[in-house]
Amino acid sequence: MHPSNDPALRSFVPVGPDSHFPIQNLPYGVFRWKGETDQHIGVAIGDYVLDLGCVVEAGLLDDVTGADELFTANDLGPFMAAGKSVWTAARSAISRLLRDNEPTLRDHPTLRQRALVPMTEIEMLLPVTIGDYTDFYSSREHASNVGTMFRGPDKALMPNWLHLPVAYHGRASSVVVSGTDFRRPCGQSNRSGSARPSFGPSQALDFELELGFLIGPGNPLGEPIPVAEAADHVFGCVLVNDWSARDIQQWEYVPLGPFLGKNFCTSISPWVVPMLALEPFRVPGPPQDPEPLPYLRCPDDWGLDIELGAWLRPNGANDSERICRTNAKHLYWNVCQQVAHHTVNGCNLRTGDLLATGTISGSDPGSYGCLLELTWNGTKPLSLGGGQTRTYLEDGDRLTLSGWCQGQGYRVGFGIVTGRVLPAVQKPG
Ligand code: MN
């Protein structure tokens, strides 16, 4: 185990047992002071953010090659591109600096005051410029449920599904950080199967509970990344809500796949949990039968034991209600297989690319990661507290995802990704 993952570590910064940001996590993010424009790189610890720009200025990260440039940059791109040895050195140094028995920062009140920023005083931004966004379809339960709904139980999985991690190219321009509200999309749909489609605000607006992996060093065009080396190219992990308009999607997707039903908004959580922090929570994935082709055979366990949930606050309600409880360990295809498959034809990944898992569902109905499944395409409405029901999202609804790895007495968490549906602006169709 890397020393930074020792469950016995404690920080001098107070961290409650349910906090997502104990010293074993140390996720990276980009923030600005409320009302200001300068972007800073920080690490979350309890209810505070350690401003890494302040820390390097004080000469406290001198063991980390290039730290001056990496942590005074506008976003995490340069640090993510620097690779695993730099990530490990930075994590070791930051972990040491925040320990309860390390006086450097603890006993330096002026520096501590400047470097430890209360989360209430800042706004989080996108952690990196996302150049490309690929969305996989890696949950067998999700793919089987959707296939059952649209093709029947005999043809639930397409013939390719057990042989390759199915994916489509998404759109990076509309990836937004948690807290960004968005307008209900308008588009064509034809739910009644009539001769002509109709145009208007989506009537089947959904969320998708996913994880996203951010690429560190990329690969040159034409040079695939072998599955055994894939982990070295993955910097960290965020929560992803891949908002989806099911009616638009259903009408448009044949034959070339998802387009406007998907690319109007995708929300990610601001804190990037480093893959190093997830090491203690790696578990075997589900058995893969038939055995994948050699280039997809993963030598290591890359299942991730991450508890995940979705909370819905209906328009006008005061409280959120949990509507999904699932776990990332159910995923059939892991991130190393996704990276190997994505690049096997020579396609180049670049620093900051986002690879999302696809909706993460478990086997029981309470574990389904989107409303399409939770309400079985709108046929089984959800009953919510206060007498409200939902098939799909209504204007004013807020949807929040959260997730964490449960350690003994601490949680390595992802925080939240949240967003609210604003009414459509309808132009004549
Ligand atoms: Mn998706």
pLDDT in tens, 230-289: 999 999 999 999 999 999 999 999 999 999 999 999 999 999 999 999 999 999 999 999
Q: How many residues are there in the chain?
A: 429
pLDDT of residue 192: 87
pLDDT (average), residues 95-115: 97
pLDDT (average), residues 147-166: 94
Task: Note whether 56 and 97 are within 8 A (CB).
Answer: no
Rounded to whole angstroms, how far apart are CA atoms 216 and 320? 35
Q: How many angstroms is it from 358 CA to the middle of ligand 1?
A: 4
Residue type, 120: T
Q: How many angstroms is it from 266 CA to the middle of ligand 1?
A: 9
Strand-pair category, 175-177 with 266-268 = parallel
60 has pLDDT over 90: yes
CATH 3.90.850.10 placement within the chain: 133-422
Q: How far is CA 38 from CA 32, 74, 121, in A?
A: 6, 8, 14
49 has pLDDT over 70: yes
pLDDT of residue 83: 98
pLDDT of residue 427: 66
For domain 3-125, the CATH class is mainly beta
Under the banding of pLDDT at 50, 70 and 90, the label for residue 426 is confident
Q: Which of 283, 417, 286, 312 is nearest to 371 (CA)?
A: 312
pLDDT of residue 428: 60
Q: How many angstroms is it from 420 CA to the middle of ligand 1?
A: 18
309 has pLDDT over 80: yes
Under the banding of pLDDT at 50, 70 and 90, the label for residue 210 is very high
Task: Note whether 165 and 338 are within 8 A (CB).
Answer: yes
Active-site position among 40, 142, 330, 341: 142
Q: How many angstroms is it from 424 CA to the middle of ligand 1?
A: 21
CATH 2.30.30.230 placement within the chain: 3-125
**Fold annotation for 133-422:** Fumarylacetoacetate hydrolase; domain 2 (3.90.850)
State the DSSP H helix or E strand holding residue 221, giving kind and residue range, or none if neither: none
pLDDT (average), residues 95-104: 98
Under the banding of pLDDT at 50, 70 and 90, the label for residue 54 is very high
- Alpha-carbon torsion, ordered 221, 225, 230, 234, to 10 deg: 0
Give me the sign of the Cα torsion angle 379, 384, 387, 389: negative
Q: How many angstroms is it from 248 CA to the middle of ligand 1?
A: 14
Q: Could you confirm whether 342 is annotated as catalytic?
A: no
**What average pLDDT does the structure give for the chain?**
97
